[in-house]
Amino acid sequence: MVSHGALHNLVNWHNVNFAVDAQCRSTLIAGIGFDVAQWEVWSPLICGATLVLPDSEETRLCPDALLRFFALQRLTHAFVPTVFVPDIVNLPQPAELTLRYLFTAGEKLSPVNVSHLDYPLIDYYGPTEATIFTTCNTVICASKNQPPSIGVPIAGAEVFILDKELQPLGVGQPGELFIGGPGLAIGYLNDIEMTRQRFITSPFSPGKRIYRSGDLACWLPGGRVQYLGRLDEQVKIRGNRIELGEIENVLLQHPTVKGAVALVVGEPDREKRILAFVASPHNDAPELQEKLRQHIANALPAYFMPSAIVVLPRLPLTINALLAEIWASLLDDVSPGLDDEFTHLGGHSLTAAKMAVVISEKMGVQTYVHDIYDHPTIRLLAKALEERSRTPSVATSTEPLRILQDDIFLPDDIYIDPHFDEYQVTAPRCILLTGSTGFVGSHLLSDLMRTTEAKVYCLIRAQDLQTAQLRLSDTLAHYHIVLTEAQRVRAVPICGDILKPRLGMLVEEYRRLSQEVDIIYHSGGAINFIQPYSYLKHINVQGVREIIRFAAEQRTKPVMLLSSVAVFSWKPQHSERWIMHEDDDIDLNLPEVLTDIGYVRSKWVMEKVAGLAVARGLPMITFRLGYATNHSETGVSAEYQWWGNLVKTCLDCGIVPALQEFREGLTTVDYITSVITYVSRNPQAIGKKFHLTPEPEDSLTLDEFFSLLEQYFGFHFHRQPLPECNSYKAA
């Protein structure tokens, strides 16, 4: 939480020191979710200057286009991310350029040649917790071989470099950088413990706070600060503590080095080594390597010496920049900011799957689909992958039981009266249906129309009733579901969301429906075999909590819960139980659930939450669905289902994978929904669970399925081993 006063303090200091006034023109380059954007926006606006927005995302991402944009718009002040600085300063400067200052921030800046520029390059440093910027440095040309610096404190900020006992350190002594002054944030929203850990009482001024940055730095002569890296980048090699940033800074002071990165490599429990990578135009790599070794030996202790120094024409992108490049290429060339969320940029499960593969290949760090959802921004993902690269053995796809157990709860304020009227089940007058725009839910709506005279309220995510009605009509038409005019009148769409309080309804509507509805059919949820539990739990677990709350509101309404046989896991490797009965405890295969996909885990937790409601007295029937495949008469199926897509592919190519004993437990969707509507009319079914999947002996194998197509429809398929089928598809 950053106060308006802290932001004004920074912006006012900046405007005074860099002559920003009503005649100036600047722009907005940082993503709006990045803290630098606040400074870019408010600096011109509070003094009447002009803020010129880039004409396209392509301009923001291309240094050459940026320079042309700066010149065309006659900007006086502009900002570029650190990664763009080398390209910006090395490009030919347009004659029309009117820049007075070019600013940069965000990452450690390598030495650059600025002698030919007509404007100064200003490098800002600072964490968000100290309101964007804390120090400022006018960049000195690399040819002068000055030690890199982030400059001096600004805008009333105080900088302390302290040891572990919070004692001040002298010039050249590395320690943790602490920040005080008027720019400090109030703290972290709803995180008192984190605020207490990071914002501590100053040991020098009782009553004042300082912020523990986690950055490693040292004082340079003249009161300037040198940034050495992150504290968590410190490593121990043969008992000696190494600061990689110090190695990089020494290398950068060599006149032929344009960039430097030091890394520690080595497997856990084995000896670690230092590798240094330098960017240099020097053609004789062995000669330069020997000079750099001598250069390091003259400046640092012997144990800082890298095992190898690799000379490259140019350093690879930073992890942030590399991830941004990957995201942009897979998300339809959007230009993601460091804090833009994956799903908000149009990402979905298939994109996440591709992204995990590409990141693993390009970065050499094993990346999983759940990483993309658990760390949904470039900044968070980069941090997670950096940590994993240091401890590769901890990566796992297992969901700790504690994580699932933490989500098994019902709020204490949900009181459930176990009494209800029998007619609510046998002859309901009003039904609430979720998931009516899904494959199973739309067919369930059709059967409810056919078997009852009830009004069915269809809860649909939509901005308005017209959109909700259109979504429902489109779904019915898409799946060839025909309702009579009288049935259409009884199918009433309402705007809502099972994730939101009161199901996303207004208070009056929520109370009215909670009194009017007799019974609930909860078919809404997420079916996705790629997304992780952390993502799916919101709709599958929190969604059922909101349904339970609605069921208990004003009068008790029985719940018909649509679940999945997946609650027992699809891979019973430990228990060796391949047949599960309806009254079996879903904890029997818990070890498999913990290592199964996120969808399975979310359904297991959903049923555990539902069980808590039943224990409080909620009348419920649970239907565990198997594979709801096509409609037996119309043949329609859901496009996302792999079985239907497999059949279409085999029909097109005339080839079937030779998988003799592969069984999927296919059940037609209309059989499933007809069973649900029939069983749910029987009060004696309350409290029971029903598996809607074939007995093993009745479940067709894949080969038997295609044999029936050959027998009844005259098709002929060639059986081929699966690898050959994949090769055919790739061809």
Question: What's the mean per-residue pLDDT of the chain?
Answer: 86
Q: What is the pLDDT of residues 28-57, one digit of tens each?
A: 988 776 788 899 999 999 999 999 998 776
Q: Is 320 left (phi over 0), alpha (psi -120 to 50) or beta?
A: alpha
Q: What is the pLDDT of residues 641-650, one digit of tens each?
A: 778 888 888 8
Asked if the structure places residue 728 within a domain, the reply is no
Other CB atoms within 10 A of residue 238 CB: 8
Asked if the structure places residue 626 within a domain, the reply is yes
Beta-carbon-side half-sphere exposure of residue 147 (alpha carbons within 13 Å): 20
Q: What's the domain range around 382?
A: 319-393
The CATH number of the domain holding residue 292 is 3.30.300.30
Q: Are residues 186 and 257 in the same domain?
A: no
Does the pLDDT at position 61 exceed 90? no
Q: Are residues 351 and 306 in the same domain?
A: no
Asked if the structure places residue 98 within a domain, the reply is yes
Q: What is the pLDDT of residues 533-577, one digit of tens each?
A: 888 888 999 999 999 999 999 999 999 999 999 888 866 544 455
Is residue 288 classed as helix, strand or coil in its secondary structure?
A: helix
Asked if the structure places residue 520 within a domain, the reply is yes
Asked if the structure places residue 562 within a domain, the reply is yes
Helix (H) or strand (E) holding 25: strand 25-27
Q: Are residues 509 and 627 in the same domain?
A: yes
Q: What is the pLDDT of residues 659-670, one digit of tens each?
A: 877 877 789 999
**564 contacts: CB under 8 Å, gap ≥ 6:** 603, 624, 625, 626
The CATH number of the domain holding residue 385 is 1.10.1200.10
Q: What is the pLDDT of residues 477-532, one digit of tens each?
A: 999 999 999 999 999 999 999 989 999 999 999 999 999 999 999 999 888 777 78
Q: Are residues 389 and 453 in the same domain?
A: no
Note the pTM of the prediction, 2 decimals.
0.53
| Triad 584, 590, 595: Cα angle to 5° | 140
Q: Are residues 300 and 441 in the same domain?
A: no
Beta bridge partner(s), residue 456:
431, 491
Q: Are residues 628 and 649 in the same domain?
A: no
Q: Are residues 65 and 174 in the same domain?
A: yes
The CATH number of the domain holding residue 54 is 3.40.50.12780
Q: Are residues 286 and 374 in the same domain?
A: no
Q: What is the pLDDT of residues 237-288, one digit of tens each?
A: 655 667 787 888 889 888 888 878 887 765 444 456 788 888 888 767 788 8
**What is the count of structural domains for the chain?**
5
Does the pLDDT at position 325 exceed 90? no
Last residue of a domain, one of 209, 230, 251: 230
Asked if the structure places residue 414 within a domain, the reply is no
Q: Are residues 276 and 212 in the same domain?
A: no
Asked if the structure places residue 416 within a domain, the reply is no
Asked if the structure places residue 411 within a domain, the reply is no
Q: Are residues 519 and 572 in the same domain?
A: yes
Q: Are residues 380 and 472 in the same domain?
A: no
Q: Are residues 42 and 177 in the same domain?
A: yes
The CATH number of the domain holding residue 427 is 3.40.50.720
Q: For 215, phi and psi rounded to 5 degrees? A: -95, 145
